[in-house]
Amino acid sequence: MTELAPSIATINRPAGAKRARGRRRPGWLVGLLVLLLAAAAGGYAWWRGQGQTAQESVRTAEIVRGDVADLVSALGTLEPASYVDVGAQVSGQLTQLNAMIGDQVQEGQLLAEIDSRVLQSRLATDLAERDRLEGVLAQQEAQRALAQAQAERQQAMFRGNATSRDELDIAEAQVRVLDAQIQQTRAQISGQEATLAADRANLSFTKIAAPMTGTVVSVTAVQGQTLNANQSAPILLRIADLATMTVEVQVSEADQPKLDLGMKVRFNTLGRPDQQLEAELRQIYPTPEVVNNVTLYTALFDVANPGGQLLPQMSVQAFFIRAEARDVPLVPLTALSPAPGGAADEREVRVQRPSGEVESRRIRIGVTDRVNAEVVSGLEPGEKVVLRSIASARGEGGGRPPMGPRL
């Protein structure tokens, strides 16, 4: 019995160790379970916090009444509706200049004078030549009268056989020669009369009068300057009628089909951005202008300028009005989404109820600008709509639009 004790003890140690390891296994399971529960609790807390943050970050806008317009914008400048460049038609020294920039002139008013001494001398010479030709004509007419009388006597003598046929032919030929000379002299006198008319006209051109009533907007000559009008007419000054101004704006080829003659246009100058003026589109030039590979068409419209506040070369920002609506419910474009299967004027919006719940609703819109849309039906002033995020709005063709004019 004594010898068997060690072996029994040896056999029993491993069994005891196995039982000890079997007792520690539930502790590992409990720890793992605790970790899983903690992770689940943390995930739930994070999800709930994210939900609350998303709920708190919902942006809404209230439906209000206002004005909206569908506009086509363009830039341009002001020009006088009518103007005249006053030039010199004869050469010579500018002896007198009676106009300055800003002067109001009347039609027919004397503006400038050119030295006329050379033209006066030429006119006197041509008058003398005309008088000489008239003297030659009188002499030829007297000779013709004498030749006619001689021819008649020769005819009477020839009938009485008192002269030869040769003498009669000579007398009649002399009459015809003098008739031709008289006709030539009269033609020379007519040509000289035409020369005299041109000389008188050139002499009158030395006194330059205003061709229209208006304002002197530019002066390009100075008194004492020598003018050479042989090749082109030198420009002295420009007179413009500032009572009516023409606005010339450039419209891109993408916007040109949107314009119609007679459509209303609203514009303002750079110096008076808050002063809105209205006019109607008068003309669109058919020939475009290409600037930096961009095709632009020129559109024109006129505006009255009784106060003289509009001046040439002023910069203008114009807005052609395709459609507009006043005092109507407005909804931001960032609150609109496409309506699947709906009409072209139908959109979907998410409306927030007073209780805080959000519902989807289909509405009909009308006139739109780059910020708001007219609500035709489906929303009332005072209701709140949920705005989409900037990213989603841009993904559906939105984005931050440029500001338009005040209506």
Q: Give 244-289 as a DSSP string.
A: EEEEEEEEETTTGGG--TT-EEEEEESS-TT--EEEEEEEE-SS-E
Please report whether residue 157 resides in a domain. Answer: yes
pLDDT recorded at residue 27: 61
Alpha-carbon distance values, 212 to 89, 110, 209, 238, 366 (Å) = 17, 12, 9, 11, 49
At residue 363 the predicted structure's pLDDT band, cuts being 50, 70 and 90, is very high
pLDDT higher for 313 or 7? 313
Please report whether residue 385 resides in a domain. Answer: no
Per-residue DSSP letters for 278-346?
A: EEEEEEE-SS-EEETTEEEEEEEEEEE-TT----TT-EEEEEEEEEEEEEEEEEEGGG-EE-TT--TTE
- pLDDT tens, 62-73? 999 999 999 999
Q: What's the total number of domains in the chain?
A: 1
Contacts 24+ apart (CB under 8 A), 33-39: none
pLDDT recorded at residue 323: 93
Please report whether residue 362 resides in a domain. Answer: no
Mode of pairing for the β-strands spanning 104-105 and 235-252: unpaired
pLDDT higher for 369 or 25? 369
Range of the domain at 145: 116-205
Please report whether residue 190 resides in a domain. Answer: yes
Residues paired with residue 196 on neighbouring β-strands, in sequence order: none
pTM assigned to the model: 0.64
Average pLDDT over residues 1-19: 42
Please report whether residue 199 resides in a domain. Answer: yes
Please report whether residue 31 resides in a domain. Answer: no
- The closest of 278, 287, 281 to 261, measured between CA atoms, is 281
pLDDT higher for 342 or 239? 239
Distance CA 260, CA 322 (A): 9
Task: Specify the amino acid at residue 228.
Answer: N
